[in-house]
């Protein structure tokens, strides 16, 4: 007679399917639990296109996709997932996920709604424009007021319209505007006014005495307006 003895340790049961958390994430992406890698990515890309510009939702979708891929890789490596996709393919997918992680994804959640990392094109364009505005007092001291007024107005316009799609010559600095909304307008005015105040204060405390006062004020205010409309956002929908 054979007597089976209970095992001691080392006999932990391997989960046979996705975790409860992963099941909820599959539902978020709208795919089944047996979806392959391409189906998961297509669903993710379709949702990103649908909710383009909604920062919070896009972050949640990115996290959902990443966790699903991690869960699939875990099940694959444990032998609980039978798939035609090799473990090497899942490793490549995981590496792609890490490679695609952007600076925007690294922002703390509390800043994700008000800060948007600019593209290089936007950064250069705004730097050139505000750089030119800041140098107006170098041509004439009397132009310092015009420099600040122009910087303030342009900063308001660019910040309020930040996030408009690039349509090849339209949008943002090229004239396309958003419809007026009370909350975004109030936020835009507040951020731009605060930026100007900080810029003016900085011109008084920074060691810029080698510059004439009007030019120092213009430089600091223009830098503040540049920062506010290049790195901040007041609305993220297109």
Q: Which pLDDT tens digit goes with each residue over 23-54?
A: 778 888 888 877 788 888 888 888 888 888 77
Taking 80 as the threshold, does the pLDDT of residue 109 lie above it? no
Mean residue pLDDT of the chain comes to 78
DSSP 89-105: HHHHHHHHHHHT--TGG
Where exactly does CATH 1.10.287 map onto the chain?
20-106
Which of 93, 80, 74, 226 lies closest to 148, judged by CA?
226
Q: How far apart, in whole angstroms, are the C-alpha atoms of residue 186 and residue 182? A: 6
Q: Which residue has the tokens 């006062």?
A: 213
For residues 227 and 116, which has the higher predicted lDDT (pLDDT)? 227
Helix (H) or strand (E) holding 61: helix 55-78
Taking 60 as the threshold, does the pLDDT of residue 201 lie above it? yes
Q: How far apart, in whole angstroms, are the C-alpha atoms of residue 134 and residue 152? A: 11
Q: Which pLDDT tens digit goes with each residue over 113-149?
A: 788 888 888 899 999 999 999 999 999 999 999 999 9
Buried/exposed code over 82-121 (b: 16+ C-beta within 10 A; e: otherwise): eeeeeeeebeebeeeeeeeeeeeeebeeeebeeebebeee
% of the chain with per-residue pLDDT over 70: 71
CATH architecture entry for 20-106: Orthogonal Bundle (1.10)
Taking 90 as the threshold, does the pLDDT of residue 214 lie above it? yes
């Amino acid at each position: 007679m054979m007597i089976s003895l209970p095992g001691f340790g080392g006999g932990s049961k391997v989960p046979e399917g996705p975790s409860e958390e992963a099941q909820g994430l599959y539902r978020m992406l709208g795919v089944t639990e047996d979806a392959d890698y391409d189906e998961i990515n297509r669903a993710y890309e379709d949702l990103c296109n649908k909710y383009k510009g909604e920062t919070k939702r896009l972050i949640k979708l990115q996290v959902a996709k990443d966790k699903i891929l991690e869960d699939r890789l875990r099940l694959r490596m444990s032998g609980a997932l039978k798939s035609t996709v090799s473990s090497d393919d899942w490793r490549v997918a995981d590496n792609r996920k890490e490679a695609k992680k952007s600076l925007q994804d690294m922002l703390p959640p509390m800043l994700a709604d008000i800060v948007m990392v600019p593209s290089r094109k936007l950064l250069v364009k705004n730097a050139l424009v505000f750089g030119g505005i800041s140098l107006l007092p170098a041509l004439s001291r009397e132009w310092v007021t015009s420099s600040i007024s122009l910087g303030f107005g342009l900063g308001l316009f660019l910040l309020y319209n930040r996030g408009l799609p690039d349509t090849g010559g339209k949008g943002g600095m090229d004239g396309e505007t958003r419809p007026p909304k009370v909350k975004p307008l109030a936020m835009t005015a507040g951020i731009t006014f605060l930026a100007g105040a900080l810029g003016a204060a900085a011109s008084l405390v920074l060691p810029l005495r080698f510059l004439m006062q009007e030019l120092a004020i213009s430089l600091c205010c223009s830098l503040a307006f540049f920062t506010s409309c290049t790195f901040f956002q007041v609305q993220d929908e297109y």
